[in-house]
Structure formats: C-alpha cells, structure tokens
Amino acid sequence: MGSCEEGIRQAREASEISEQLDDAVETTRCLIELVWSFHHDKDLDAAEKIASRSAINLLPEEGEQLQVYQCHYLLGNIYRSKGETMKAIKHLEIALGIASSFNWLNLQFWIQYWMAALFSDEGRFDDAHAYVEHAKLHTANDHDTYLLGRAMKPQARFWHRQNRLEEAKSEALRVVDTFEKFGATNDAEDARVLLRWINRDARSSGSGSCCVQ
C-alpha cells in the first residue's frame, strides 16, 4: 500500500465505507489492515485501541474465525512490543487455540515462533526452547524448509545468550545450510553474522571456533 501513512489513510477510508454499509465483517477486515498499518508505523497505542476496542467487538459470535485469530495475534505482538508480557501471552494463546482447532499449521508456527521470542526476551529460555520445538513440528515437509530455518535461528540465539556456545555454533551452521539450500540468500547471510558473533565469543572463552564459508 506504499508508505505507512498512505496505508493508514486507505484502510481508514475503507473501514468507514464498510461501516456506513453496516457490514460488520468487512469493517473488521478493514480495521485489521488499519491495525497492521499502525503497527508497521510503530504507533502501538493506536494499533492496540483499534484491535481491542473495535475489531474484536464487531465480529459475530460465530464464524469469521480467521479474523478473530488475526485480532488476537496482532494484539499479542502489540503487547509484546510494548513489554506487556502477560497480556501478550493471553492473546497469543487465544490465537494459538483458534489456529490449532482449525489445524492451520503455518499460523500455529508463527504464534509459537513469537511466543519463543517473547519468553526469550524474559530470559525464560526453557519455555522459549519448548515453543521452538513445537514450531518445528509444523515444518515437516520440504515446502516448509524456510520456516525450519526460521525456527532454528532463534534457538541458536537462545543458546548463545546462555553461553552454550558449542550448541549455538552447531545450530547456527545448520541454519546457514538450511537457508542456502532453500535459496534464501539474505537470511543465510544474516545467519552467518550470528555465527561470527558466536565464534567471536567462543574464541574469547577458549571454546574454539568453526569456519564460516
């Protein structure tokens, strides 16, 4: 939609038109787009207000589960960005419950991915590791190779932060290899940067090093 400002303008206009037509479902869809736009613009207070007070309340009690999922998923990430951990967990767990009930595997992956990031931010690495392992369960086929790499990368970071450097190096090397096989060049390079940081700390601690191609 171009810039965040233009995206916000278009989404706001669309929601107003849908509201005038008394179309609650379409209004909610437009409001979700508006929340995304505010979130990308880092206006978290505006994003939270629309998602919590408008979008969810407009939805019918049954049906439109994807929109309900999106609202809670957005709120979870908004609260995570604001450092409001308990609120973030509450909404992400609701979103995960919806995605699980409909067997939406990719959506389950991303919720678990962000739950892992949230717990890592809190220093709760055992919980973060558990969510990463759950996320990996939704990357069982070749089509999900990229997601597997995305799941392994935070695991390498967790171990790095815990000073488990040999495990971190091994996982980071797997991440580089996974992204290279998938053809995700930029992601592979980002993983190499992580591996260089791990190698630097390993050398400083006398743990040895591994080569980065």
- Written as one string, the DSSP assignment of 166-210 is HHHHHHHHHHHHHHHHHT-HHHHHHHHHHHHHHHHHHHHHT----
CATH architecture for segment(s) 1-103: Alpha Horseshoe (1.25)
Percent of the chain with pLDDT over 70: 83
Domain-wise residue ranges, the chain: 1-103, 105-213
pLDDT in tens, 111-168: 999 999 888 888 888 898 899 888 888 776 655 788 888 888 988 998 998 999 999 9
Q: How confident is the model at residue 174 (pLDDT cuts 50, 70, 90)?
A: very high
Q: Indicate the burial class of 167 (C-beta count within 10 angstroms; 0-12, 13-18, 19 or more).
A: middle
**pTM to 2 decimal places:** 0.73
Widest distance between CA atoms in the chain: 68
Q: Which CATH code, of 3.30.930, 1.10.10, 1.10.287, 1.25.40, is assigned to 105-213? A: 1.25.40
Burial of 20 by CB count in 10 Å (0-12 exposed, 13-18 middle, 19+ buried)? exposed
Digit-coded pLDDT (tens) for 132-146: 888 888 776 655 788
1-103 and 105-213: same fold? yes
CA distance 140 to 87: 31
- Of 172, 204, 211, 168, the closest CA to residue 188 belongs to 172
Buried b (16+ CB within 10 A) or exposed e, 115-125: bbbbbbeeeeb
92 versus 52: which is more confidently predicted?
Answer: 92
CA–CA separation, 211 and 134 (whole Å): 30
Residue-by-residue DSSP string for 114-153: HHHHHHHHTT-HHHHHHHHHHHHTT--SGGGHHHHHHHHH
- The amino acid that residue 93 corresponds to is E
Indicate whether 180 pLDDT > 80.
yes
Q: What pLDDT does residue 168 have?
A: 93
Is residue 207 pLDDT above 80, yes or no? no
